Amino acid sequence: MSKCFFEAVRYDEGIIVDPLVERLKNYVEVITFCPESEFGLGTPRLPIKIYQVKGEKILLQEKTGKNLTAEMKPFLIKYISTLPPLDGALLKSKSPSCGVGTAKLYKGEKLIGKTDGLFASLLKENNPYLPLEDEGRLRDKSLYYHFLTSIFLLARLKKEVLPSDLKSLFDFHAKAKYLLKTYNEELAKKMERILADKDLSAEEKFNVYQSLLKISLKKKPEKKRHVNTLYHLAGHFIRRISSKERRNLLNLIEKFKAGSLDLTVLLEVIKSLALRFEDHYILSQIYLEPFPLELRLP
Ligand code: SF4
């Protein structure tokens, strides 16, 4: 995470108190980093901006006219190479170093668009499948849900699966089934084929599986994929509930589809049905609770 969520390292010695970071920090192991202060620009420091010059993006300290790109880039690449495997990165929005598609891009005096900050772009280059966001983008509820789902699922794979223990990978896949099908049905099937491939060792299966998981988490699923999954989940109970309950359940899914009901409400309804009918398979599905309940948005 960007260090300025925790310490006064901003150019103006400010500190950013963000409610998401405040909640999230209690559930994840945090590594903090400030590309600008740790590069040696000091705090407080002169602000920097990204300029487009002859098709290239450069980081310029406006007041001194100093182009910092050539020196900062190798410093940041070296830092990134020292990082342990990450499950995600949450950076500060709009910063010319940390912004994820939210840093201002200038051409001369003119603002011509938004782009990645230098650190964010190098992090992306180094690990294209890393869940990477800035806190500004996560105000979008569906992006927030997707980001948390991704980081917790990747962490869970590492925590629950021993690469040499095939059974633990099978167990993980069984629990992740509905979630994976929601994200990318084709890749979910490919993962199943990898698990069944007799020519691969347990470790090889784990490595390919982990790569496919990262690829499938790259893109936020469209709402219709969630609707599809919700209908599948509802199908487990549809013959076991009264016609009034059935109508109500289908009505709720349609409301979610129309945008007037939150996904988490539907997940709670499905969970209650699974509890009532003691459906342990459905209860085990990560899709019902992909990250800690306390991190759900109100
Ligand atoms: S946004 Fe990034 S570069 Fe700026 S103060 Fe925060 S951590 Fe440092």
pLDDT digit string, tens, across residues 45-91: 999 999 999 999 999 998 999 999 999 999 999 999 999 999 999 99
User: Quick one: 105 and 235 in the same domain?
Assistant: no
Question: Which pLDDT score, from 0 to 100, does residue 238 have?
Answer: 95
DSSP letter for 297, please.
-
Look-up: residue for tokens 């300025």?
4
Question: What's the chain's average pLDDT?
Answer: 97
Evaluate whether 228 touches 180 at the Cβ level (below 8 Å): no
pLDDT attached to residue 298: 78
On whether the pTM is more than 0.75, the answer is yes
Residue of 13, 31, 36 with the most ligand 1 atoms within 8 Å of its CB, for mutation: 36
185 & 282 share domain = yes
Query: Which residue puts its alpha carbon closest to atom 5 of ligand 1?
Result: 10
Q: Residue 30 and residue 187: Cα distance in Å, rounded?
A: 30
Is residue 170 located within the same domain as residue 70? no
How many domains, the chain?
Answer: 2
Residue 187 pLDDT level (bands cut at 50, 70, 90): very high
Place of tokens 């289908």: 250
Tokens of 86: 């990450």
Residue to mutate, 98, 123, 134, ligand 1, most ligand atoms under 8 Å from C-beta? 98
Could you tell me if 84 and 121 lie in one domain?
yes
- Using alpha carbons, select from 216, 194, 206 the residue that is nearest to residue 160: 206
What tens digit of pLDDT does each residue of 120-159 get?
999 999 999 999 999 999 999 999 999 999 999 999 999 9
Residue 102 Cβ inside 6 Å of ligand 1? The answer reads no
Domain finish residue from 103, 118, 139: 139
Q: Which residues pair with 92 in a beta bridge?
A: none
Domain boundary among 86, 121, 139: 139
Residue 50 near ligand 1, beta carbon < 6 Å: no
Same-domain pairing of 30 and 150: no
| pLDDT band at residue 14 under the 50/70/90 scheme | very high
| 3 ligand 1 Cβ < 6 A | yes
Q: What is the pLDDT of residue 131?
A: 98
Task: State the Cα–Cα distance between residues 253 and 249, nearest whole angstrom.
Answer: 6
Domain residues for 267?
A: 140-298
Q: What is the per-residue pLDDT across 193-231, written as a single tens digit (0 to 9) for each?
A: 999 999 999 999 999 999 999 999 999 999 999 999 999
**Of 83, 111, 139, which residue is a domain's last?**
139
